[in-house]
Each structure stands twice: as C-alpha cells, then as structure tokens.
C-alpha cells in the first residue's frame, strides 16, 4: 500500500468505525474498566496469552452487564473455563495446516482455496477455531507475504473460488483490500471472491462505501457473515448488510452452535428468520462446535444439535434453514449432521419419514 492510499483513506468521511475501535477494548488491560466478575478478572490475563482480547465499542454496548450469562458477553469476555484444556481437544481442529502447500493458503477442495491475508481480527471470539494460528502466526497483511499464495493460485487452473478468511479480511484498510482483489481478479480462472468476516456483526460501521468499492470488480463477490445471536442483529448491522446487498454482493451467514449462547430453538429461530427477513442474509451453515482447546463449556452434543435443527425445520421455511455441519478433524471437511429421513429401502421402494413425522414410501420409477 502506498502512503498516498493511506492519506486518501483518512481523508474520507467514512471514519466513524475508527472511533468504535478506539473506544472499545483493544488490550486485556482495557477490561479493567468493565464490571467483570472476580473469576473473569482473574482469568483474563492468562486467557489473553493464548487468544487476544479485542471488542469494538458497538459490540461491547450490546452486553447486558446485569446478566452474568449474557450471550454477547459469553462470546467475547475471557472465561476461566477457557483455561481448562480437555482431553481430545486440538490446536488445529479442522486440519488447516496439513493442507497448506504454501504459507497463508489452504487447499483442501480442488475448486476453492482459503487465503489468509491477515491473522488479525476486529473482534476476538473466545470460541475461535483458529485461535491457535492467530496467536502463533498473528501477523497482519503485507504484499510480500501473500506472493507465494497468489503464485500458487495462478498455477492451479482448477481453482475457481478464493475465500478470504483469517483473521478477518475486513479488518484491513480499503487500499489493501483493493490490492488483494485486483491481484486475484487478474488470475483468469478465478470466478468468485468469498469473504468470511465478523465485521458486519462486531464493527458494522466499517462497512463503508469505500470498503465495498474496494471489492467491486470482475469477480462475483459473496460475503459470509458470522451472526450467532439475534441480539447481534441491530440497525447498524442492518445498514451494513444493506450497503453490501446494494453493491450486488451475495450475503450468507454461518453460525457456530454454542452452549449458553444459541442452543435453544427459540433463539435459533429468531436468528435465522431475522437474518433472512431483516438483513437479507441467507443462513448457510450452522457449525457444530469443533475441538478448539478450552471450549468444552460451549460445546453441545451432536444429538442436541440434531434435535434443534429438526425443530427448526418444522418452524422455518427452507430459505431460513442453515445446514448443520461438522468440520471434521484432519481435514475431513464439512459434513452434514442433520438426521437422515431415510428409514429403509426394499429394492426400488424407499421408506422415508415426512416433515409431518409420518412414514411414507417412494417407489423409484426411472425410464
């Protein structure tokens, strides 16, 4: 990025988000001003050593401090439970590293790659499945660091989708995003740019005309947001999503199923319907809790998740329903966990349970 680009950026009027960052929690020491419990206070320093603390003001303001189990608080305030590593938990829960041929890139499915322009985020979620990488690598964006990954994409014509993830790609300056977008769109076989981000949730004021403009070009753009609770759906988040929709971006959401945050059907129902009907964001995935260290206290069982999504299917239309998936260890990928409706088969006749719970037969007739 040139110094000119920096100047242009700070001269734009769209800088309200910088106040949101400045007035938020930027370091663990900023937690001192918050009404934490003695146990949270004691845990904070130690927890921050393995996963940074950062909370923009807009997100901090959503916390109801009178509720010790507040679902917003649970996502960002370090808890003493984080310090307990359970047997079987993993540093790299979904096998990003094993499928990384060059730094800052993971290639597990032929047609799409993960690209990590930065290992920093606008907010640090306590349950993050990449917290180990964010802490051990931790670096931000530089042009040079991305060169091997861009060369790899150029050399692999089977790659059609580039997924910017991290870290949070939308924590980068507009000029850096424009540069990354231009480099990717210069590779002719790439068709879609996908961005996985928590910025529309935690720092919605950052979704400015300048940011959106930086991403517009030849490529189809899909933004996958990360809302976990209906209280995160605010008028600011609504404005951020409207800006992105009006720019022509396709908006999807992935949520993580978290005990004590969104593991009740009423909460998921409101989350998924408000995402679709208010924000115009299609619920895409509901992730079963992966095996990130220190997260046993936020994990549900798979059976609990299956019961929740079965009930959700009864209550909400198809477009409001996410697919419940587990991202398997060792790079097994994302696999649906929803209960199968197939109860049996005899030759060409399948026994399938309907949405009303009754068993029906379907006999295949193929010419």
Binding-site residues from annotation for [4Fe-4S] cluster = 121, 125, 128
Task: For residue 124, state whether it binds ligand SF4 (rule: CB under 6 A).
Answer: yes
Binding partner of 109, given ligand PLP, ligand SF4, none, CB within 5-8 angstroms per partner class: ligand PLP
Which residues are part of a known binding site? 121, 125, 128
Q: Which of 53, 55, 125, 159 binds ligand SF4 (CB under 6 A)?
A: 125
Q: Point out the residue whose Cβ comes nearest to ligand PLP.
A: 108
Pattern of binders to ligand PLP over 328-347, x per CB under 6 A?
A: ------x-------------
Nearest to 52 by CA among 149, 175, 134: 134
Q: Is 80 helix (H, G, I), strand (E, B) or coil?
A: helix
Pattern of binders to ligand PLP over 270-299, x per CB under 6 A?
A: ------------------------------
Q: Which of 73, 104, 107, 130 binds ligand SF4 (CB under 6 A)?
A: 130
**Cα→Cα distances 335→128, 308, 328, Å:** 19, 17, 7
Is the alpha carbon torsion for 172, 180, 131, 210 positive or negative?
A: positive
Residue 6 tokens, joined: 């920096």
Pattern of binders to ligand SF4 over 162-201, x per CB under 6 A?
A: ----xxx-----------------------------x---
Residue 314 tokens, joined: 């009864």
CB contact set of 73 (below 8 Å; sequence gap of 6+): 63, 64, 65, 67
Nearest to 179 by CA among 154, 233, 215: 215
Cβ closer to ligand SF4: 203 or 320? Answer: 203
**CA 26, 32, 36 angle in degrees (round to 5)?**
110
Rounded Cα distance, 212 and 226, in Å:
18
Q: Which of 112, 139, 242, 297 binds ligand PLP (CB under 6 A)?
A: 112
DSSP state of 51: S
Q: Which residue has the tokens 């004021």?
A: 205
DSSP state of 94: T
Stretch that binds ligand PLP, among 3-11, 105-113, 183-191, 225-233 (CB under 6 A): 105-113
**Cα→Cα distances 27→49, 53, 149, Å:** 11, 6, 31
Size, binding site for ligand PLP by CB under 6 A:
8
Cβ closer to ligand PLP: 208 or 228? Answer: 228
Rule CB under 6 A: which of 140-179 touch ligand PLP? 163
Tell me how far, at minimum, the Cβ of 99 lies from ligand PLP, in Å: 6
Tell me how far, at minimum, the Cβ of 133 lies from ligand PLP, in Å: 13
Tell me how far, at minimum, the Cβ of 133 lies from ligand SF4, in Å: 9
Nearest to 111 by CA among 191, 217, 215, 195: 191
Rounded Cα distance, 16 and 54, in Å:
18
Interface residues with ligand PLP (CB under 6 A) are 94, 106, 108-109, 112, 114, 163, 334
Interface residues with ligand SF4 (CB under 6 A) are 121, 123-125, 128, 130, 166-168, 198
């Amino acid at each position: 990025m040139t110094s000119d680009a920096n100047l242009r950026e700070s001269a734009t009027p769209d800088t309200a988000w910088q106040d949101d960052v400045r007035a938020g929690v930027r370091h663990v020491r900023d937690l001192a001003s918050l009404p934490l419990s003695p146990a949270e206070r004691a845990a904070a320093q130690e927890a921050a050593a393995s996963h940074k603390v950062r909370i923009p003001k807009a997100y901090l303001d959503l916390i109801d401090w009178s509720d010790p189990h507040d679902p917003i608080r649970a996502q960002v305030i370090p808890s003493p439970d984080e310090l307990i590593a359970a047997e079987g938990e993993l540093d790299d829960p979904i096998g990003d590293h094993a499928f990384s041929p060059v730094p800052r890139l993971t290639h597990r499915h032929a047609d799409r790659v993960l690209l990590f322009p930065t290992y920093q985020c606008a907010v640090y979620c306590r349950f993050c499945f990449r917290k180990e990488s964010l802490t051990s690598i931790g670096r931000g964006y530089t042009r040079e660091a991305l060169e091997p990954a861009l060369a790899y994409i150029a050399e692999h014509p089977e790659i059609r989708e580039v997924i910017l993830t991290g870290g949070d790609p939308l924590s980068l300056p507009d000029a850096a995003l424009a540069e990354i977008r231009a480099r990717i769109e210069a590779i002719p076989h790439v068709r879609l740019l996908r961005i996985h981000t928590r910025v529309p949730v935690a720092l919605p004021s950052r979704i400015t005309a300048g940011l959106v403009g930086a991403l517009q070009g030849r490529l189809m753009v899909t933004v996958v947001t990360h809302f976990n609770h209906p209280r995160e759906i605010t008028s600011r988040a609504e404005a951020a999503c409207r800006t992105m929709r009006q720019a022509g971006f396709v908006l999807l959401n992935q949520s993580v199923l978290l005990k004590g945050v969104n593991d009740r059907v009423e909460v998921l129902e409101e989350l998924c319907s408000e995402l679709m009907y208010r924000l115009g964001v299609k619920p895409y995935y509901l992730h079963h809790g992966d095996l990130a260290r220190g997260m046993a206290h936020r994990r549900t069982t798979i059976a609990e998740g299956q019961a929740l999504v079965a009930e959700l299917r009864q209550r909400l239309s198809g477009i409001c329903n996410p697919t419940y998936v587990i991202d398997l260890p060792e790079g097994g990928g994302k696999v649906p966990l929803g209960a199968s409706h197939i109860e049996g088969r005899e030759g060409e006749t399948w026994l399938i349970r309907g949405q009303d719970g009754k068993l029906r037969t379907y006999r295949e007739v193929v010419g």
